[in-house]
Amino acid sequence: MQVLTRFGISLEKKLLKNFDRHIQGKNYHNRSEAIRDLIRKELVNQEWAEGKEVAGAITIVYDHHKRELMGRLTDIQHDFNQLIIANQHVHLSHDNCLETIVVKGKAGEINKLADKLKSQKGVKYSTLSIATTARTL
């Protein structure tokens, strides 16, 4: 259980009114939670920019009919097994699969793995979603 601390900030009245309206539209119940989310997002971006130990998810969409592709994807994941925590496979349609791969490690290493997967023939789309181990949040 983490210790909470409380402090005051000052804001232009009009800005606060507009922020309150905005976060209501985004389902927030109170300002503190919305501001905490902005702060945490800022810090997570910084972790990645500095190449820190991070977590993330790689999403790939591919055609499982492509000969040997699934074998190659598995080989690559085993080459980087120290980064990979788990993966999940979904059948999008007759031809296409979507896979999410949860990763944890140095930002630079994760980028390398993501590039490697993305460049494979038959992988139609791939993106790296940055997240965090939350150690500093």
Binding residues among 35-64 for a second copy as defined by CB under 8 A: 35-44, 46, 55-57, 59, 61, 63
* Residue 72 found at the interface with a second copy (CB under 8 A): no
CB of 7 to a second copy, least distance (A): 7
* Residue 15 found at the interface with a second copy (CB under 8 A): yes
Considering only 78, 81, 82, 86, the residue that binds a second copy (CB under 8 A) is 86
Q: What whole-number distance in Å separates Cα of residue 85 and Cα of residue 64?
A: 22
Note whether 15 and 102 are within 8 A (CB): no
* Residue 74 found at the interface with a second copy (CB under 8 A): no
Strand partners, 56: 103, 130
Closest-CA residue to 115 (of 76, 78, 86, 70): 76
Note whether 39 and 47 are within 8 A (CB): no
CB of 63 to a second copy, least distance (A): 8
